[in-house]
Amino acid sequence: MWLPTSSTYKVQSAIQGLPGNAKVASLINSTEREWKMELVREVFGEEEAETIQKIPISSTGVEDRLIWQGIKDEGFIVKSAYYLQNELNAMMLGQSSLVTKKTTDWTSCWRRKIPNAVKTFIWRACLDSLPTRLNLVKKRICKSPKCHVCLCADETVIHILWNCPFAMDVWSHGSSSLQKCSIRPETFSDLVEALNSSYDIEINSFLEFKNAQQKPQASPCGTTEGLGTWNPPLPGVIKVNWDASLSASNGRAGFGIVAREHQGRILAHKKFSKPSSFDPLLAEAQRALYAVELAIELGYSSIILERDSHSIIKGVMQDQSRWDRVGMILSDTKMKLSYLVSWNATFVKGNCNTYAHTLAKVALSLLESLVDLVVNPDTL
């Protein structure tokens, strides 16, 4: 069981061209640390070959280990298996993977002991009456429906409050029940009903989400990007910012990386795209690894990694291991960081990272094999 599919996690197509005792290692180019895609396409069906292509491979050769995808940041616990089994049972009954038997509906928010403003907010969200960019486009108030935070999808109510990678990062600081929740509903009302019935989560968690959204504060120094402030590093230290833009329809991610010195001057920037599963946290971890690899490639010995993902910054800075695919990428990143003289990783708000964000968005239009790296010749 090694395929990241939500149904069986097993290969379903008839294996061709490999002996019955063949191992996954035979599909990997051990020198280049990448999949032998020609062989993969010969052996597996088209859909499974595309899934395999998006599975990240360790760039440092870490040992194989069992992982559990039912919970973030931890190993296996029985409760997470219970939640996963409920979802699988629903799928076997021909139901949506995100809906189990409903005992309440979203209108129950009016009976909860929470502030009236929160009840009204939830009610409007369930009715899709919030002023999202998609709704504003329908009213001809703005031109583009794209989410201004991630630039990956249209800004619907369910996207901006739940499915957006940045919303996921906020929810990752909530209760363990929320962290275990893997549902991706189509509407906000479906989400509220699923949380009420399947996970017994109090709706006042949405109040915590609203309180977590703080307006960016201006800093007295630094380089302004958007509404935030990018602060330069100390002399002799290089600050590396990165970002990515996911395209679920194309199954690809565009990556953008920028390195700057203490005066704010851009030393190098890089943009490229790769096949990617629509797993925001995994993609976020891969971005951090690519940023470190670029720093090593350009010979930087002292760097600061800066990004607007609490989960990844925390994962890089702490010694605790994660028993999932994200943990493998973080292990690779820490291994490569150990080659440097000094390094640090800090959190920055997304509006301080607009240059890398623009690079990532443009990268989605690049050909698969094209990597655009621009290095300031004065820094060589």
**237 falls in which pLDDT band (50, 70, 90)?**
very high
Are 284 and 347 within 8 A, CB to CB? Answer: no
Long-range Cβ contacts of 155-161 (<8 Å, 24+ apart):
156/128, 156/132, 157/125, 157/128, 157/130, 157/132, 157/187, 157/188, 158/185, 158/186, 158/187, 158/188, 158/190, 158/191, 159/132, 160/132, 161/125, 161/188, 161/206, 161/209
Q: What is the pLDDT of residue 217?
A: 41
Residue scoring higher pLDDT (318 or 218)? 318
Of 178, 212, 246, the domain-final residue: 212
Nearest to 325 by CA among 276, 374, 371, 361: 276
At residue 223, the 3 state secondary structure works out as: strand
DSSP state, residue 245: E
For residues 231 and 367, membership in a common domain is answered with yes
In a domain, 218, yes or no: no
In a domain, 75, yes or no: no
Residue scoring higher pLDDT (188 or 198)? 188
Sequence-distant (≥ 6) Cβ neighbours of residue 69 within 8 angstroms = 4, 324, 325
For residues 116 and 257, membership in a common domain is answered with no
Q: What is the pLDDT of residues 77-136, one digit of tens each?
A: 777 777 777 766 766 665 444 444 443 466 667 777 778 888 888 888 888 889 999 999
Residue 171 backbone zone (phi > 0: left; psi -120 to 50: alpha; other: beta): alpha
The rounded mean pLDDT for the chain is: 77
Residue scoring higher pLDDT (73 or 57)? 57
CA atoms 71, 74, 76, 80: torsion sign: negative
In a domain, 301, yes or no: yes
Averaged pLDDT for residues 62-91: 70
Residue scoring higher pLDDT (329 or 367)? 329
CA atoms 56, 57, 60, 61: torsion sign: positive
H-state helical runs in 139-224: 157-158, 165-171, 176-180, 188-194, 205-212
d(CA 257, CA 59): 19
In a domain, 24, yes or no: yes
Q: What is the pLDDT of residue 198?
A: 45
CA distances from residue 378 to 260, 292, 308, 374 in whole angstroms, order as listed: 13, 21, 30, 12
Question: What is the span of the domain harbouring residue 36?
Answer: 1-55
Q: What is the pLDDT of residues 25-55, one digit of tens each?
A: 889 998 888 889 989 888 888 888 888 888 8
* Token pair in block for residue 301: 């010995």
At residue 88, the 3 state secondary structure works out as: helix
Averaged pLDDT for residues 222-231: 54
d(CA 372, CA 221): 31
Are 145 and 154 within 8 A, CB to CB? Answer: yes
Count of CB atoms within 10 A of residue 71's CB? 20
Bridge partners for 244 per DSSP: 255
Evaluate if residue 209 carries a pLDDT over 60: no
Q: What is the pLDDT of residue 157?
A: 92
For residues 268 and 355, membership in a common domain is answered with yes
Count of domains forming the chain: 3
For residues 237 and 155, membership in a common domain is answered with no
**243 falls in which pLDDT band (50, 70, 90)?**
confident
In a domain, 208, yes or no: yes
Q: What is the pLDDT of residues 278-331, one digit of tens each?
A: 677 787 888 899 999 999 999 999 999 998 888 888 889 988 777 777 888 898
